[in-house]
Amino acid sequence: MSDHSRPPLRPESLLAHGGGGIDPATGAVVPAIQPATTFVRDTDYRLVSDSHLYGRDDNDLVRQIESLVSRLEGAADARVFASGMAAIAAVARTVKPGGTILVQSGIYYGTTAWLRKRCAHDGIALIEADASDTERFCETLRESGPDLVLLEIPANPWLTVADLPVIAEAAHAAGALLAVDATAATPLLLRPLDHGADMVIHAATKALNGHSDVLAGIVATRDADTAAWTFVREERHDAGAVLSSFDAYLLLRGLRTLALRMERMCANAQGLADLLDAHPAVERVLYPGLPSHPGYEVATRLMTGGYGYLMSFLVKGDAATALAVAGRLTLVQRATSLGGVESLIEHRHTIEGEVTGVPENLLRLSVGIENLDDLVADLTGALTLTAR
């Protein structure tokens, strides 16, 4: 069978080979790290390689990641950034002073806080609205006529799931660009471009890398010929929010195991959600894989392969109770971030509760790849004293 007649590779195979396969020049199965920032010209001042002028935009490892993510997302093009927030910022900056941004409320507070500061500084109207109420959100969208609509699916830390196709239709009818932060889903569970989004954003720091050792961000687009995408490309190049060669190497290495990690993480998360949902010391579990979750129907319709690795749960009690539960954990680590191979727990009220209204008894749990029985034992042991 010729290469041209082979069916397209499935995501697991693309990821396992880093989207690139063997280096034809050396036969290496692992791509090399090229640390150079500049490249020589010949005696006639022509570039030795037409695609290598300066390291800020000419990095083969970064290009390989962009190609891989484009294929995973069904995107026309993608760009890697130095962090998830750099990726968010590039998309938000497509809106000029005097414009309007409609952002989903109850999302990652770093995004909300930066948008508030940036919009106030640049004279941009910022509207925050609950996207879990689809009808009201779309009404706000029609009334405000935003330049950009920004969603996060699933949302962090509330795990709400916006009805993307309905909102996409309303956004495009209003002439708005729709971007979706799908960090908590990855392309394996949700492909926002397939459901009407114009751009998809990932904090690759999280599950895409998966090892808590790289800061990176990615933006992918459905249409590479728009003015907005031209701006994002130029913003990455001109403003310089680029990834180093070593970090690109680590990110590509992490991506190779994404499918296996997500399979285990989603299975673990579902198992823990079921356990916590029935535990007498738990008031409520926020996880879209539970039929009792308000976003279960939408998540089931949009997501494939699982409901993600992220959840929150509210213990019965106050802040002291929640902190005591977190303090008794020995396997699950108390730390910020999410999407790594290790399970992490965070008391979000300590971080942002005074300004966002996150309940003082809420704990956010990022589920890793550990043995599920060990995670169950750790959480059950930490909750047992609370239940008494």
Among all residues, which ones are annotated catalytic? 56, 108, 181, 206
| Rounded-to-integer distance, Cα 90 and Cα 179, Å | 11
Closest by alpha carbon to 119, among 88, 84, 140? 88
Residue whose tokens read 């022509």:
46
What CA–CA distances, in Å, run from 83 to 18, 188, 319? Answer: 20, 20, 31
H/E element, 377: helix 372-387
List % helix, strand, coil for the chain (3-state, nearest 5): 40, 15, 45
Which positions ≥6 away from 182 have C-beta within 8 Å? Answer: 152, 153, 190, 192, 200, 201, 202
Residue whose tokens read 């673990």:
268
Closest by alpha carbon to 298, among 213, 199, 190, 171? 190
